[in-house]
Chains A and B, each alone.
Chain A
Amino acid sequence: MKSINNIFKEKQHVLSIFFTAGFPNLEDTTKIIAELSTNNVDFIEVGLPYSDPLADGPTIQDSSQVALQNGMNLDVVFEQLKTIKDTNTTPLLLMGYLNQVIKYGEDKFCQQCKDCGVETVIIPDLPMLEYKNHYQQLFDRYGITNVFLITPHTSEARIRKIDALTKAFIYVVASASITGAKGEVSQQQINYFERIKAMNLQSNLIIGFGISDKETFATACQFANGAIIGSAFIKHLDTNGVARIGEFVQGILE
């Protein structure tokens, strides 16, 4: 598996896709990764389905419910990822909620990530203060990088602090919103992206939340190193199945 930072060196604009592990079927996780990889997605966020996903909209909530009913859990997903560790070259990130990590055991979680070749995690309810006080040393010990989110309401001073802590990329949340497609990018959002771009941060920037198609992806790429698409992909997957993942990705990249 390549490192995410190598991807940023190789390409000017990257496309990342989020999906929920275990959706639509328990055994789809590795198939989805293979399809996304074949279709030149640059890195993949594997969502760990959670009962109470506070930052997620209805699409990801529903996919999480289905995945949990399918029997997905952390042990299953780690086993699945281990089977493709030697064959998959596309970087994988895990995205889940802090309670899952605490209950699983923080050390065990990090060790499992390491054993699967996962170097980067996104935990939306782990804020900077708690990260620094309780998790930074642990993650460093296992060589795991945490991705922080910034929003239109994050102050410049706080963005600078987050920038200093960032090793992979900053997740630029496109609007004051939970996950899910909004259709288009507003002038207000563009002003916000320009403001962030003008800060000349050391970190790579990836825009997410509300990026859904070729147009919104292209807009995001004007201001950042790339973008993440989640809910729109899950909807496509739900309607069209794993076999037609290529159509979705090519529709974005063509």
Chain B
Amino acid sequence: MTENKNMKSKYQPNKNGYYGQFGGAFIPELLYPNVKELEENYLQILESEAFKKEYKDLLQHYVGRPSPLYLAKRLSKKYGATIYLKREDLNHTGAHKINNTIGQILVAKHLGKTKIIAETGAGQHGVATATVCALMNLECVVFMGEIDIERQAPNVARMKMLGATVIAATSGSKTLKDATNEAIRYWIQHPETYYLIGSVVGPHPYPDMVARLQAVISEEMKVQLKAQKGKENPDTIIACVGGGSNAAGAFYHYLEDEEVALIAVEAAGLGVDTGKSAATSQLGDVGVIHGSKTMLMQDAYGQITEPYSISAGLDYPGVGPLHAFLHETKRAKFMNATDKEALDAAYELTKIEGIIPALESAHALAVLPKLALKKDQVIVVNLSGRGDKDMETYIKHIEK
């Protein structure tokens, strides 16, 4: 998982958590002891033999890893390229999110924490957190925007069944950004809790820790491509980006391999210029959100803009600092897909490959028609989650 530990690459954060100008830990003093404790311990924990063994064991026997790398023949034929799907949708709980929660729950245990808090947008991270809390017998409180609670009802029911308390965030846009604010405010008032962040966002060391825990995705891709295709490196990797954890995981072990093109796909919502979008790289600029200096969507006075996407997992007004850096340095190409393009991509994959993707992952698929592809070009699309949670949306739109 942490092969890169001895390699001081420019894609690794410095000791203060900076990727170039992005990152850091912009937190109220009230959170300093918590964040400092984590910062001082996370690398040592992640690199300990005890952690590695338990993490690997749970990923294999509980999550079901390695997730398959599937050659999507009909999709390949349609787009005239060799397209593989990294099947994170087949993980226990239905998305890549569990890679991170398994890792962080072990970190929390190593730190002696007994109560876990988390934010969630689509509910996938909330479910993944509630799941590992049930597994480890730890108390779990999940903050979720009031609007997301309505549009992701099945995941709310799952979290409750798993024993978590779900608290509605009623401030601001009542979505992921506000759920994160409420989780941070709760953390300030309950410093004994462990905040299990769901993406590569937040103050250092969270972005780096979450990226390392999701890096298993690209670690497996290398092995699987070698076995199936005879070489570790694809030509192109495509992943959707809200905060950016599945993309960070899919890119992680390829960041140094500059010949591998990395494509990050943001949610354009109704269109980048409609005022109803979540395409941070197109609409945002430098600022601080949730403790990290990064790219974010804001007005002329630094008030954070309320983003929009049909996908609850992508309507976040920032991106993780690693992604801001990949965008700035042009290491990754940032593209976007509208609600409609994502829906169309989801219906297409369902019909020709028999896989119903999550709406988030459908955004990654939706850029395939926009790329000039060659027949022998090897592409991996990170299929970050499955579509069960989005059935209501899919049914609603398919009738139109």
Contact = CB atoms under 8 A, between A and B. Distances in A.
A101 B287 CA distance: 9
Given A51-B172, A61-B171, A176-B188, A103 B29 contact: no
B32 A125 contact: no
Interface stretch (B20-28, B121-129, B260-268, B325-333): B20-28
Interface residues of B, number: 35
- Give the interface centre of A102, A149, A155, A173 by most chain B CB atoms within 10 Å: A102
A54 interface: yes
Contacts of A129: 16, 25
Interface string B126-148: 00000000000000000000000
A222 interface: no
A251 interface: no
Contacts of B288: 97-99, 102, 125
A98 B26 contact: yes
B118 to A, nearest CB: 17
Interface string A38-81: 00000000000011101101000100000010000111000000
A178 B26 CA distance: 16
Nearest to B21: A134
Contact of B298 (A99, A127, A178): A99
B302 A55 contact: no
Interface string A134-161: 0000000000000011110111001000
B274 interface: no
A99 B304 contact: yes
A7 interface: no
Q: How large is the interface on A (under 10, 10 to 19, 20 to 34, 35 or more residues)?
A: 35 or more
Give the interface SS of chain B, mostly helix, strand, loop or mixed.
mixed
A128 to B, nearest CB: 8
A175 B192 CA distance: 14
A100 B302 contact: yes
B301 A104 contact: yes
B78 to A, nearest CB: 43
Nearest to B171: A61
A140 B16 CA distance: 23
A177 interface: yes
A124 interface: yes
B2 interface: no
Given A99-B298, A177-B188, A124 B304 contact: no
Nearest to A124: B28
Nearest to B26: A125
Interface in A111-140: 124-127, 129-130, 133
Contact of B26 (A75, A100, A127, A173): A127
Interface in B293-320: 293, 296, 298, 300-304
A127 B302 contact: no
A151 B293 CA distance: 24
A75 B302 CA distance: 12
- Give the interface centre of B16, B188, B190 by most chain A CB atoms within 10 Å: B188
Contact of B189 (A154, A158, A176): A176
A210 B300 CA distance: 33
B309 to A, nearest CB: 19
Interface in A196-219: none
A51 B172 CA distance: 7
Interface in A1-60: 50-52, 54-55, 57
B291 interface: yes
Contact of B181 (A54, A103, A151): A54
A130 B29 CA distance: 12
Nearest to A102: B287
Contact of A74 (B177, B190, B289, B301): B301
Given A102-B287, A125-B28, 6 more contacts: A54-B185, A99-B298, A104-B302, A127-B26, A127-B32, A176-B188
Interface of B: 16, 24-30, 32-33, 171-172, 177, 181, 184-185, 188-191, 285-291, 293, 296, 298, 300-304
